[in-house]
Amino acid sequence: MKDLLNRYGLLLTTVFAVLTGFWILVLVVLPNIYLFEHSFKPYLPVAELGGPKDVYSLDNYLTFFRSPIHISVFFWTVIYSAVVTFICFLIAYPLAYYLSKVSARALLPMIFLLLFIPLWVSEVLRSFAWFIILALKGPLNASLLGLGIIEDPVRWITGFRGVIIGLVYTYVLFMLFPLYNAIQSLDTNQIEAAEDLGAPWWRTHWRVILPHAKPGIASGSVMVFMLSAGSILVPTLLASTNSRWFTEIIQQWMFESQDWNTGSAYAFLLLILCTVFVSAVMRVFRVKLSDIAK
Amino acid sequence: MSAGVDLDNVCADFGTFRAVDNVAVNIQPGEFFSFLGPSGCGKTTILRMISGFISPSQGVIRIGGKDMKGQRPNQRPTALIFQNLALFPLMPVWENIAFGLEVRGVDKQKRRARAEELLHLVDLPDAADKAVAQLSGGQKQRVAIARALAVEPQVMLLDEPLSALDLKLRQHMRAELRAIQKRTGVTFIYITHDQGEALAMSDRVGVMSQGKLQQVANPRDIYNNPANGFVASFVGENNIFTGEVQGTEGNLARFATASGTFTARLGPAVTQGMKARLFLRPEHVRLAPGAGGTNSIPVEVTDVAFEGNFISIHARDAGGQVLLAEARNDGATAVPAPGDRLHFTFDGQNAVILTGDTAARDIDA
């Protein structure tokens, strides 16, 4: 704070502080507190608000646990978010290794630019592009048919397939960058030392590079998992009739039933249960929160 | 157990830059061989070619008589000790040492036993379960040596492994390395820019400059009979006079310089009429009150530095050239004082006339 004062003077520092404070307090904290409070209240007609029925209870939360369908949707959302996270890791790890240890330094800005450009396009447009690409008579099937790789068009958008493809595409970079940072910080001599001692490439990865990259893998995985589980756009556009994402249920409570209270309870449940899940996974892989912060 | 290493006209090119230029040397099995040179002279590139991380652009590298072309580092009978040691920080000490055995599928109990054994060899028992970060610099050094020895290499490659240690420890580790080399009989190829290290430890030294091998000889010959100006000036201190060879008498020659005409030994490839340099070691300079014999330079003492076992005397001759003499602190020699006028004399057999560039004096030795 003193640094800030010295550098920008009283007026600008005050402006910064007020704007940041406004953003955090009014746009983040207050709405959450509002929703949190309402998640414990029943959904009542306006006339009964403040009446004898308007008391705090866990009913909204229990609604979830009383609904096998919602539990199953939540279960599959977590499972498929984990699948998305794993696929993102499979794609990002070799790429991160290549970028940080193999590719020529002069090529890096070019490659990063190519990776970044898609991020400049809105997520809606990108998801919609996938909707077109994956369509039964879309370009992907047309090319595969044209190349003779498949004989009949594949129905891509069925089950969770479309959602997985869309989520992987949308969030793979959130895995790539932490991984890139982690692998880049590894002393190249260690990779060479392992090879010099006789290790084949896969063992060097298993014993030297992967353990070193663990914090990067963890932070990338947490990000991709949380973003996937909380994503609404991609599932809305790329889900099929037999795949529902938990966020869609929250949306239904909020906008179709107009029941913000239960909707809020579901939103907090998503946050809490995902946090529990992530903590459990981190414990299994022996990753500490402080490692991720590095 | 140990293998010789033959470098057969080996070159390494990075783009248009030739880092290693036609290096040819046969390193004997069980030999302690050092490549000595300033940074950027190509010595590390040679080491990386022997270990297999870089392929030579020309020439052949043979280990134990076998051509190493196309062999990856993990297929070669070499073990490299990196300048920064490159220990695996996430493994305890014993797993570091046993890594090479783990790779070879040795079971855990045997690995552990072998690691303990090697820890005894490098005089570091009880460190097996420590984390690498808990070790001191010298201890890390020993672990790195043990890790390399664990794979029973035929050739051990060492890339300035002592440069990060303080002076005392460095001198101790020199003796230690030499002892380990003798005990194991493994061929050691050692890279350094520190002439003291190279001279003290090696059976033979190869002095390098600008990618070329300047001289290969035992430490005594490197110091006493340098092949050219670079070797003479890079290894040890010198008084250097530029001049011209005038007449030769046997292995001696008359050499005309701005400070006078001297008689000195004729180096290899130096002939009459040539422009060359005369190299005179400070410890071969004698101090005389009056002119004496052929090689005598009148000087004025500018500075006297007491170094403990010897006394270093800086002086200036009539032409303004700064000269250096070293007198042993044996109590018998009269120590001059700044401002004294006397003569620097030397025996022609102790000075040598050589051609070739001299080493830049800003080396970090």
Tell me what the mean pLDDT of segment B210-221 comes to.
94
Tell me what the mean pLDDT of segment B196-203 comes to.
92
Domain termination residue (choose one: B224, B251, B280): B224
Name which residue leads in pLDDT, B29 or B176: B29
Are B243 and B183 in the same domain?
A: no
Using CB atoms within 10 Å of the CB of residue B69, give its burial: 0 to 12 exposed, 13 to 18 middle, 19+ buried: exposed
Rounded Cα distance between A292 and A151, Å, is: 47
What is the share, in percent, of chain B residues with pLDDT greater than 90?
A: 57
Residue of B nearest to A188 (CA): B86
Q: Is residue B362 part of a domain?
A: no
Asked whether the beta carbons of residue A212 and residue B72 sit closer than 8 angstroms, the reply is: no
**Quick check: A77 and A271 in contact, CB under 8 A?**
no
Are B128 and B202 in the same domain?
A: yes
Are B203 and B248 in the same domain?
A: no
pLDDT for B216 equals: 95
Are B68 and B200 in the same domain?
A: yes
CATH number of A66-293: 1.10.3720.10
Are B112 and B254 in the same domain?
A: no
Tell me what the mean pLDDT of segment B185-211 comes to.
93
Give the residue numbers spanning the domain of B244: 237-354
Gyration radius of chain B's alpha carbons:
24
All residues of chain A having their beta carbon less than 8 Å from the beta carbon of residue B74 are 195-200
Rounded Cα distance between B121 and B145, Å, is: 10
A32-52: pLDDT as tens digits: 999 899 899 888 887 777 777
A242-293: pLDDT as tens digits: 788 999 999 999 898 888 899 999 999 999 988 998 898 888 888 877 776 6
Q: Is the ipTM of this complex over 0.85?
A: no
Are B208 and B249 in the same domain?
A: no
B72 touches chain A (CB under 8 A): yes
Gyration radius of chain A's alpha carbons:
24
Are B202 and B314 in the same domain?
A: no
Min Cα–Cα distance to chain B from A198, Å = 4
Rounded Cα distance between A13 and A20, Å, is: 11
B151 touches chain A (CB under 8 A): yes
Q: CATH number of the domain that B159 lies in?
A: 3.40.50.300
The count of C-alpha atoms lying within 13 angstroms of the C-alpha of B264, restricted to the half-sphere facing its C-beta, is: 36
Asked whether the beta carbons of residue B103 and residue A198 sit closer than 8 angstroms, the reply is: yes
Domain termination residue (choose one: B202, B224, B246): B224
Domains: count for chain B:
2
**What is the layout of strands, in order, in the sheet containing B286-288?**
B286-288, B341-345, B296-306, B310-317, B322-328
Q: Which of B75, B101, B103, B189 to mutate to test the interface with A (most CBs of A within 10 A)?
A: B103
Q: Is residue B9 part of a domain?
A: yes
pLDDT for B362 equals: 44
pLDDT for A172 equals: 93
Asked whether the beta carbons of residue A211 and residue B90 sit closer than 8 angstroms, the reply is: yes
| B200 contact partners, CB below 8 Å, separation of at least 6 | B174, B178, B219
Are B210 and B326 in the same domain?
A: no
The answer, yes or no, to whether residue B220 has pLDDT greater than 90, is yes
Rounded Cα distance between A223 and A233, Å, is: 17
Min Cα–Cα distance to chain B from A151, Å = 44
The answer, yes or no, to whether residue B363 has pLDDT greater than 60, is no
pLDDT category, B319, cuts 50, 70, 90? confident
Min Cα–Cα distance to chain B from A197, Å = 5
DSSP secondary structure code for residue A206 in this structure: I
pLDDT for A293 equals: 64
**Quick check: A203 and A244 in contact, CB under 8 A?**
no
Q: Which residues of chain A have pLDDT under 70?
A: 292-294
Q: Is residue B161 part of a domain?
A: yes
Q: Is residue B232 part of a domain?
A: no
B147 touches chain A (CB under 8 A): yes
B13-42: pLDDT as tens digits: 998 999 999 999 999 999 999 999 998 899
Q: Is residue B328 part of a domain?
A: yes
Min Cα–Cα distance to chain B from A102, Å = 13
Rounded Cα distance between B195 and B198, Å, is: 5
DSSP state letters, B174-237: HHHHHHHHHHH--EEEEEES-HHHHHHH-SEEEEEETTEEEEEE-HHHHHHS-SSHHHHHHSS-
pLDDT for B361 equals: 53
Are B19 and B60 in the same domain?
A: yes
Across chain B, mean pLDDT equals 89
pLDDT for B364 equals: 38
Are B217 and B258 in the same domain?
A: no
pLDDT for B324 equals: 92
All residues of chain A having their beta carbon less than 8 Å from the beta carbon of residue B80 are 192-193, 196
A contact residues 183-212, partner B, Cβ 8 Å cutoff: 187, 189-190, 192-200, 203, 207-208, 211-212
B325-354: pLDDT as tens digits: 998 888 776 788 898 898 999 998 899 999
Residue of B nearest to A187 (CA): B86
The total of other beta-carbon atoms located within 10 Å of residue B218's CB is 13
Q: Is residue B230 part of a domain?
A: no
Domain termination residue (choose one: B169, B193, B224): B224
Are B282 and B311 in the same domain?
A: yes
DSSP state letters, A26-85: IIIIHHHHHHHHHTTS----GGGTTSTT----SHHHHHHHT-HHHHHHHHHHHHHHHHHH
Coil/strand/helix, residue A165: helix
Are B262 and B139 in the same domain?
A: no
